[in-house]
Structure 1
Amino acid sequence: MVKKLKVSSDKVLELERKLSGLTDLNPIQDLLTYLESDSVDGRVKHKTLFVLQRVFSSLLVSDRILGLKSTSDNEAITITKKWLLDKYTKFFIILGQLLYSNEHSLRITSLHISMSLIRTESSYISNKTKPATPQFAIESFRRLVRSLLVSEKPIIDDVRKEWIDKWPGKCDDIRYFFFKETISLLREFDIKNESRPKYLTANVLSILENIHTMPTDQSEIDEFWVPEIARQEKEQVKQSNLEQTKLDSQDWTAYYDQMVTEEDEEKATDKNAKKSKVRDTINLSAHRAMYSGVWLTLLKCPTGLDVSENRRALVVLHQLVIPFLKPSERASLADWLSDCCDIGGVNALLALNSLWRLMRDHNLDYPDFYRRLYALCDRNVLHVLYRARFFRMLDLFLSSTHLPALLVAAFIKRLSRLSISASPAAIVMLIPFTYNLLKRHPGCMHLIHSERMAQGEEADMYKVEETDPMLSNALDSSLWEMSTHQSHYHSSVNRMSQIFSQVFSKPNFAMEEFLDHAYITMFDSEIRRRIKNNPALYDGKTIGIFGGHKRKLDSLETDEEKDAVSGTQGDLVAELFEF
């Protein structure tokens, strides 16, 4: 049976008074025990957190915890420092556990206290060195990052939002070190070919996809969490800018590639006071390298990402990541995107969108792009939720007037063939889409002006099963499928398909008006359409079914007819069979 602790706020304040002189430090253990207990009230834990924050902050400033090696330290002082360091480390572990507490206030308070102590510790070790040099409390920060990312459940939304808004999304130094520690954490499992912890990838992804404040110019690196980093001498910034210019002419990914080696070379003057060099936090090239590095490390998981994680990454990849990549990294990313294309579905579409950005904006050579795009044009694409997005992108991918007519003709013919078994809503979208392609690429007009007459197997030279659009013989075929729609049962399809029999003098259709067409929109347009002339044999009588609109009694001429209609009101069967 678990023994319940009965602790009041007064008891916590009493322990704080004992600690005020920093002579009797034993109450620290009692306060840590309160935080670990599940039976202690949340308000008491909240007060305990602030008490321990004040105590450890005072101990840090007074050189009682970390303390660089000093010949004046006797054995008793050394033992005390070691004991306090253990308690300080344990406090950070507890703070990490409270990030997943059921109480909102405890979660947010734990996060703020962790970052406050990291700033205090960083300032202490920065001012303690001779000469004073900006440093960062990397060990404590590493514990916080691991607590955020490695857990038995996904990071809680309010903690993630608070973390991003207050630190990586705002402070340049915290963002830099977060990327650096995340890379180390991911590599720790990847190098050993071990499976990543269950929610590690998802937690990292949920943070990265919400960081939109990456600096694009050196002048944008101007906000820091640690004051000593912000006060770096102008000469250091100038030297950093010179190094950046040198790297820009070569490859700034050297920061990323050499990161592990640099960490191995870092030596602290005390094992309990490990620090990290912070000079790179003012260097734009280093920030870019860490950002692209954390994304590439995340994506290239040896065991692979699951489909949903792939999709989430692909949604933001073209906007958040690709602009920061160097040529060598773009080729590597293209390989990963190519693997995503093999998954099919919406993932393949999103991967092609990123590949398109690499080809258009960064001159990536990817010969298989249109072959993979052609493979996505199957009958399923007309019946999926992302149909509108697919055709928006397809219109973009085929927008260049420099594309070979044979290639464009293959897509036109493939879509025309799909229209035969498509719904009216899909056909209404495919007709203007095909019209626009023909207008944009006059070399494909042969498809509707072919005079070739043949029957049997050679009537259509188009090779349906061919996976390479350039070998499909589409240009030797015709759009007979579009001609068949002129006899379609649906009036909208019938009318629209007539444009292929007319002179191509109309401007291009605005596709946004057709991409979201569905049965419901077509039905609404039909019932709202005003009829200019009454149909033949219309007698002016309104007849409803299923209890709907009733026959207008005043339109009937004799009393017998009116009595007959009145008698059938409310009787569904009688209404149905009333002639």
Structure 2
Amino acid sequence: MAPSKKRSVSSAQTTEPSSKTAKMDLNSKVDEILRSKKHANDVFDLLQVLQSEKEKSVLGAVGACCRLFCELLEHKELYLGSLPAEDDALRGYFSAEDKYCIFMRHRYNSCVEILLEHLSHEQHEVKESALVCLMKFAEAEGQNPLEDLDWTEHYSFPRELILAVVDRLLSRTVDNSLLISRLQEFLEKDDVRYYVMSSIRENVGQVMDKSKGAVMPVYQSNVFTLMSSISVPAKESELTNFMVKQEAKHQDWKAAKLLEHKRVFERMWLGFLKYKLPSNMYKKVLVILHDSILPHMSKPTLMIDFLTAAYGVGGAISLLALNGLFVLIHQHNLDYPDFYRKLYNLLEPSVFHVKYRARFFHLANLFLSSSCCHRWSTIIPACLSVCGVSHLPVYLVAAFAKRLARQALTAPPTALLIVLPFIYNLIRRHPSCRVLIHRPSKGDELLEDPYLMDEEDPAQCCALESSLWEIKTLQKHHHPDVAKAAMLINSPLSEQEDDISEVLEITAYELMESDLKQSQTKNVPLEFESATHFLKGTVLGQHFCLE
């Protein structure tokens, strides 16, 4: 006999359960429902507590509902196929068993709707518990599908449930980064990861198109947090961890193929990046793009437009775009005729102060190294002159050395300890640039520097007609380490290049600590005439003295 429809619970119901209901043993209720169909209506009590305003009551109900419906799915006691309306089921020609399954399937759907709403609950524990329960439902549905799916396309995976979960996680108003981190353990499943990526792509397209591509900081932050936690296996043989068990007859399942994973990963990121991003999001993407995005794409060259646009923005964003461009140029034969011109123009005073300074000089060192010139020479204009073993034109190397030397006049000591060895290495690699050090002059005549600092084209800046007098000036620098480094230009440079990796990360704090340690071993004179008054003639001098 089918259960009577004496009570109904919808996802919108907010009736607070009675004290008797709140204190009932939920696990006993579950046992009774599973033991006998005559207790089927007790499921309404579980759903009612699930909508309680008390956190502990909700947590208990989530666990009880999770156990109940997972067992019902396992025992195939939920109606399979297209679900008829409850009123039609009661009036229709269904057996008592089918009526029971239809009744429980409707209660299961109500439970899922309530849990999806709880993903926006004020209490994190409730949100986390609801997420875990929904993912267990997804696993149970995967093993015991409720719908007849396209087996070739989706196998028996509960795609619609995952799509609904992703939609709630990608909130438009609430930062869900903590809740998204809880999803990590489920993303280890290869099929879950595949359908999460597919759901993100679909969700982003719908939401951003509806908003006409406007910047949505909270939503885009949630999307980035979820996407940046996803990585694709390197080999197809690593695709072995599935939530839904595979069968030999379903070898064409897309979620079981590495190429399909790469494709959906690629479409997910391209779909996200085609819309306008907040500036801080732009930087976050560029920071991880070279090692967390490009290696997992089936066609990394599709990122060319995004990276070249970022490289042309200027400032820190251009610095961060260098890593991605390096990968595309070095590994995927990207042709970029204006690359070195834009790199040259990135050498502004701000480059010595940004937190990406070490990354920039590391990459600039690679781009200007002779060991890579067989590749770099294909992305710059025809060389005017070739320096030794390098294929870089001498004017280009001289322009970089001269611009760095000019910027060094106002750079902090920590930057100078990078810049000076960097310039020396350029001269070592390209002997034709030694003319910048040994340029003859007529006696003590003061010559006007022909170098054009404001010229954006390194071929037209006249660096080769100039000299590195700035380094001579730095020999009088107030910091002894800088002055010592600048003095090296007075003698012939050794053939061995300096290892700048040791100083790339140096900070002002570390430099001061080093100075203090040295000062402890010797007396440092501070004043050659002893002071007898403290700020004589000022208010402080009237109240303080040095006696």
Cα deviation 1:191-237 (Å, max 9, x = unaligned): 4435476533212211222234x22212111111112x3xx20x654
1:477 aligned residue:
466
Aligned position for 1:209: 228
Whether 1:451 and 2:468 are equivalent positions in the alignment is no
Instruction: Measure the CA separation in 2 of the matches of 1:428 and 1:545.
Output: 38
- Counterpart of 2:10 in structure 1 is none
Q: Take 2:454 and 2:83, find their aligned partners in 1: how far apart are those partners?
A: 79
CA 1:406–1:86: 2 relative to 1, 3 Å: farther
Q: Distance in 1 between matches of 2:26 and 2:37?
A: 16
Match of 1:48 among 61, 68, 78: 61
- Residue number in structure 2 paired with 1:429: 418
Task: Report the equivalent of 1:394.
Answer: 364
Structure 1 residue 362 displacement after superposition: 1.2
Q: After superposition, what is the alpha-carbon deviation per residue over 1:517-557, rounded to whole angstroms, capped at 9, x for unaligned? A: 45544444344337999899x99xxx99999xxxxxxxxxx
Distance 2:194 2:311 in 1: 32
Alignment of 1:235-254 (within 5 A): 236-237=250-251, 240=252
| Residue 118 (structure 2) aligned to one of 98, 110, 115 | 98
Correspondence 1:345 to 2:315: yes
CA distance in 1: counterparts of 2:273 and 2:325, whole angstroms: 15
Among candidates 115, 138, 145, match of residue 125 of structure 1 = 145
For residues 13 and 123 of structure 1, do their structure 2 counterparts lie closer, same or farther at Cα, with a shift above 3 Å needed?
closer
1:264-303 alignment to 2 at 5 Å? 279-301=253-275
Look up the match of 1:180.
198
Task: Determine if the alignment matches structure 1 residue 19 to structure 2 residue 38.
Answer: no
Q: Which residue of 2 aligns with 1:315?
A: 287
Identify which of 345, 348, 358 aligns with 2:328: 358
Q: Aligned letter for 2:135?
A: M
Question: Which letter does structure 2 place at the counterpart of 1:149?
Answer: L
Structure 2 matches for 1:105-124, cutoff 5 A? Answer: 105-124=125-144
For 1:63 and 1:199, the matched residues in 2 are separated by 41
Instruction: Measure, in 2, the Cα distance between the counterparts of 1:529 and 1:12.
Output: 71
Post-superposition shift, 1:85? 4.5
Is the deviation greater in 399-408 or in 315-324? 399-408
**Which residue number corresponds to residue 138 of structure 1?**
159
- The 3-state SS of whatever aligns with 2:145 is helix
1:67-111, CA deviations, whole angstroms, 9 ceiling, x for partnerless residues?
A: 22699x872648876665444333223222333445554333322
Q: By how many angstroms is 1:398 displaced?
A: 1.7
Mark the CA change 1:525 to 1:101 in structure 2 (over 3 Å): closer, same or farther: same
Could you report, residue by residue, the CA deviation over 1:450-473 in whole angstroms, capped at 9, with x for unpaired residues?
A: 236699998322221121223322
Q: State how many pairs are aligned.
A: 494
1:305 Cα deviation after fit:
0.9
Specify the code of the residue in structure 2 equivalent to 1:369. F
Q: Deviations over 1:167-190 (max 9, x none)?
A: 11x111111111111111111134
Amino acid at match of 2:517: R
Shift of 1:116: 1.6
Partners of 2:127 and 2:345 lie apart in 1 by: 48
Partner of 1:403: 392
Establish whether residue 414 from structure 1 lines up as the match of residue 414 from structure 2: no
Q: Deviations over 1:298-325 (max 9, x none)?
A: 1112xx1111111111111101211233
From the superposition, tell whether residues 454 and 11 of structure 1 become closer, same or farther in structure 2 (CA, over 3 Å): farther
Change (3 A) 1:161 1:454: farther
**Secondary structure class of the residue paired with 1:434:** helix
Segment of structure 1 superposing worse, 409-418 or 184-193 = 184-193
Q: Does the 8 A contact of 1:100 with 1:156 survive in 2?
A: no
Q: CA deviation at 1:127?
A: 10
Shift of 1:339: 2.4
Correspondent of 1:10 among 24, 28, 31: 24
CA distance in 2 between counterparts of 1:484 and 1:322 reads 44
Deviation string 1:424-461 (CA, Å, 9 cap, x unpaired) is 44333322221111112222212112236699998322
Partner of 1:28: 43
Q: Which moved more, 1:497-506 or 1:352-361?
A: 497-506
- The SS at the match of 2:475 is helix
> 1:507 is aligned with what amino acid?
Q
Matched to 1:99, the amino acid is L
Whether contact under 8 Å (1:546, 1:572) holds in the other structure is no
Structure 1 gap segments, 5+ residues each: 241-278, 548-570
Equivalent pair of 1:150/1:197 in contact (CA under 8 Å): no
1:4-25 deviation per Cα after TM superposition (whole angstroms, max 9, x unaligned): 5434241645644663323454
Question: Using the alignment, how far apart are the partners of 1:378 and 1:148 within structure 2?
Answer: 41
Deviation at 1:161, TM superposition (A): 2.7
Distance in 1, matches of 2:149 and 2:476, equals 87
Residue among 272, 277, 281 paired with 1:305: 277
Aligned pair 1:75/2:105, yes or no? no
- Give the CA RMSD over aligned residues: 3.8
CA distance in 1, matches of 2:206, 2:508: 52
CA distance in structure 1 between the aligned counterparts of 2:199 and 2:445, rounded to whole angstroms: 67
Q: How much has 1:405 moved relative to structure 2?
A: 1.9
**410 and 59 in structure 1: CA distance in 2 versus 1, 3 angstrom threshold:** same
| Structure 2 length-normalised TM | 0.79
* Letter in structure 1 aligned against 2:22: S
Q: How does 1:187-226 map to 2 (within 5 A)?
A: 187-192=205-210, 193-195=212-214, 199-212=218-231, 214-226=232-244
Contact 1:9 1:47 (8 Å CA) reproduced? no
Given candidates 350, 362, 379, the residue that maps to 1:380 is 350
Aligned 8 A contact 1:152 1:198 in 2:
no
The Cα of 1:142 is off from its aligned counterpart by 1.5
Asked whether the 8 Å contact 1:92–1:143 carries over to 2, the reply is no
Superposition deviation, residue 32 in structure 1: 2.3
Change (3 A) 1:186 1:128: closer
- Would you say the 8 A contact 1:438–1:445 is kept in 2? yes
